[in-house]
Chain A
């Protein structure tokens, strides 16, 4: 394998012009995903994690648009492609999985039709071959009796099975990158684990790069190799999952970890981060997190948050948690 990462996002900025001024739901975000790697993207609602995914796959809802930065797919820039060229890449080179499997499938078409349609769109093969591939795709995601069920409609499957169908659809043209936008949020806990195991297996077997957007720290801990924490459109912290989860450098990540319930903690009261994430139209001056931060100092209130480089590419913080990490994690 080459050293080029499958996905490389460089200083990405997404802006939405509104009557009250320009909003920046994604502000100067950079990260790479290697083949066979799962990058978890976490953050509160509105932190810009889904927006980043949509920007990558080219499905930003106007008037939102990419105003600067680069997106490279296997080294090739895709942020400036025209619509039809980008459409040919979707499905073929990159796929997307949505949150709710109940609404992601067209209720009036059989899953076989939806699969064949996608395969025929991207591969130059016959109807019969497409059908065979569709069945193989269903088998791969663990649909029992796939050849019998291919003519079923989405409503004839359970939620977990439908998410498997959705994954089969996203993968049927064998893309190199999968953007999974909250793939397990709408599912039962037991089904969640199955779906995550499936995604991990596909990622490992096929060498697919996965961008896993979620707000669930448990899912991240279980599945991701690296994690990117987003806050108010910016990257707060980026690093290997074990490092970030056990040894958070950014106070926001530490706060997130402290507010995640753990079975081992017993019935201790959960800590919470005070306040709420600011709306994009009303960001505070300085570091966007400072009003909620225990460690905030004058510099945080006056200067915008630093880039990740300041702290070995790990955390975008003027005063990253270092020596006092232990007491913070214990709290």
Chain B
């Protein structure tokens, strides 16, 4: 198992190196940031000086190496637009995105698994069929439309919840949290639903399909033939066997919740990294874009690694080293 993990970590590093190359290439191939940073009345000397401070006068390979070296230390240079270190801006914006992703991820995971089990067990029930039909909405409506509909209903018509922003936040060290104030929590509800709804329906449909598959297996029949009670058959015997594929997809989905918070954050003007990224694109703020890209890929790779290790925890057949020893 250790060898396996080491191999996976090595692979992960390779992936990050490639993503790093892509991120870095943007510096050289997407526009000229100097144009953007200096106003109309610039002199040739101004341009030269800025190129030198930004390191843009060095050869490609040297620049890439320096980029990697700096990136490994969490230093992504200065934002072209704000003139502040990118790392600082990211750290400032990250709590908003992580809190949003955390809440909608939990909602998607628990809501999805619970509804998936329910619709699988009550396959022919009326309520299960209503849920299944309703879930088509979650799968097929685009996120921004759901967000706008929710804003229309709960903010404009009913006036219950705020339509944008994070509400009041509390500072704890470097972290700003919206969990501690009522307005912060209220502001979280609509974006969290918008972001999590798609994932929730996806997980629900996956759990349902897997569960129906597992419920047809011989060992479920055998458990029933031994008089094991229905609750135990469903939750002990069946659920555990559905979890391996569910964890794979869920893991990837959690990654994409963070990555694709962009749309939700734009709709709700949520001050997270997604909004930061959209603004960065508009301004060709390449250091911010590159850092965002790196951050997202680190998250994806990290989540994948965790998912792989969870397999070992769930499925004993993968713990190959057990069979050798007869203990």
A residues adjacent to B (C-beta < 8 A): 57, 59, 87-92, 95-96, 98-100, 103-110, 114, 117-118, 121-122, 148, 153, 155-156, 166, 169-170, 173
By beta carbon, the residue of chain A nearest B232 is: A117
One of A90, A106, A117 near B225 (C-beta < 8 A): A90
A contact residues around B225 at 8 Å (CB): 57, 59, 90-91, 95-96, 98, 170
Taken together as a complex, chains A and B put the C-alpha atoms of A284 and B115 apart, in Å, by 48
B residues adjacent to A (C-beta < 8 A): 217-219, 221-230, 232, 236-237, 240-241, 314-317, 322-323, 326-327
B226 touches A156 (CB 8 A): no
Taken together as a complex, chains A and B put the C-alpha atoms of A166 and B226 apart, in Å, by 11
B227 touches A121 (CB 8 A): yes
A107 touches B228 (CB 8 A): no
Expressed in whole angstroms, the minimum distance between the Cβ of A172 and any Cβ of chain B is 8
One of A88, A89, A169 near B222 (C-beta < 8 A): A169
Taken together as a complex, chains A and B put the C-alpha atoms of A173 and B226 apart, in Å, by 9
Expressed in whole angstroms, the minimum distance between the Cβ of B219 and any Cβ of chain A is 4
Known: A103-B218, A108-B240. A95 touches B226 (CB 8 A): yes
Task: Given contact pairs A108-B240, A121-B226, enumerate 20 new A-B contacts (beta carbons under 8 Å).
Answer: A59-B224, A87-B227, A87-B230, A96-B222, A96-B226, A98-B225, A103-B217, A103-B219, A106-B219, A107-B316, A109-B237, A110-B316, A118-B227, A118-B228, A121-B228, A121-B229, A122-B227, A169-B222, A169-B226, A170-B226
A105 touches B219 (CB 8 A): yes
Can you spell out 27 A-B residue pairs with CB atoms less than 8 angstroms apart?
A: A87-B230, A90-B224, A91-B225, A91-B227, A91-B228, A92-B227, A95-B226, A98-B218, A98-B221, A98-B225, A104-B218, A104-B219, A104-B222, A106-B219, A106-B241, A107-B219, A107-B315, A108-B241, A110-B316, A117-B232, A118-B228, A121-B226, A148-B326, A155-B316, A169-B222, A173-B226, A173-B227
Taken together as a complex, chains A and B put the C-alpha atoms of A156 and B319 apart, in Å, by 11
Q: Give the number of A-B contacts (CB < 8 Å).
A: 86
B contact residues around A108 at 8 Å (CB): 240-241, 314-316
A100 touches B218 (CB 8 A): yes
B232 touches A153 (CB 8 A): no
Taken together as a complex, chains A and B put the C-alpha atoms of A122 and B227 apart, in Å, by 8
Known: A108-B240, A148-B327. A153 touches B317 (CB 8 A): yes
A contact residues around B327 at 8 Å (CB): 148
One of B222, B229, B240, B314 near A105 (C-beta < 8 A): B222
A90 touches B241 (CB 8 A): no
One of A107, A109, A118 near B226 (C-beta < 8 A): A118
Interface centre among B225, B229, B232, B327 (most CB of A within 10 A): B225
By beta carbon, the residue of chain A nearest B230 is: A87
Taken together as a complex, chains A and B put the C-alpha atoms of A82 and B219 apart, in Å, by 23
B241 touches A107 (CB 8 A): yes
B contact residues around A153 at 8 Å (CB): 316-317, 322
Taken together as a complex, chains A and B put the C-alpha atoms of A173 and B228 apart, in Å, by 12
Expressed in whole angstroms, the minimum distance between the Cβ of A303 and any Cβ of chain B is 39
Expressed in whole angstroms, the minimum distance between the Cβ of B213 and any Cβ of chain A is 13
B contact residues around A148 at 8 Å (CB): 326-327
Taken together as a complex, chains A and B put the C-alpha atoms of A248 and B142 apart, in Å, by 71
A contact residues around B237 at 8 Å (CB): 106, 109
A contact residues around B315 at 8 Å (CB): 107-108
Taken together as a complex, chains A and B put the C-alpha atoms of A107 and B223 apart, in Å, by 12
Taken together as a complex, chains A and B put the C-alpha atoms of A88 and B230 apart, in Å, by 11
A98 touches B222 (CB 8 A): yes
By beta carbon, the residue of chain A nearest B243 is: A108
By beta carbon, the residue of chain B nearest A149 is: B326
B222 touches A117 (CB 8 A): no
By beta carbon, the residue of chain A nearest B218 is: A103
Taken together as a complex, chains A and B put the C-alpha atoms of A98 and B237 apart, in Å, by 17
B222 touches A90 (CB 8 A): no
Expressed in whole angstroms, the minimum distance between the Cβ of A97 and any Cβ of chain B is 8
Taken together as a complex, chains A and B put the C-alpha atoms of A169 and B237 apart, in Å, by 15
5 shortest interchain CB distances as A-B pairs: A91-B227, A90-B227, A96-B225, A91-B226, A103-B218
A contact residues around B316 at 8 Å (CB): 107-108, 110, 153, 155
Taken together as a complex, chains A and B put the C-alpha atoms of A170 and B241 apart, in Å, by 22
A59 touches B221 (CB 8 A): yes
By beta carbon, the residue of chain B nearest A102 is: B218
A contact residues around B221 at 8 Å (CB): 59, 98
Taken together as a complex, chains A and B put the C-alpha atoms of A89 and B226 apart, in Å, by 9
A contact residues around B222 at 8 Å (CB): 96, 98, 104-105, 166, 169
Expressed in whole angstroms, the minimum distance between the Cβ of B276 and any Cβ of chain A is 43
B contact residues around A103 at 8 Å (CB): 217-219
Taken together as a complex, chains A and B put the C-alpha atoms of A95 and B225 apart, in Å, by 6
B314 touches A87 (CB 8 A): no
A88 touches B224 (CB 8 A): no
A156 touches B227 (CB 8 A): no
Known: A108-B240, A156-B322. A87 touches B229 (CB 8 A): yes
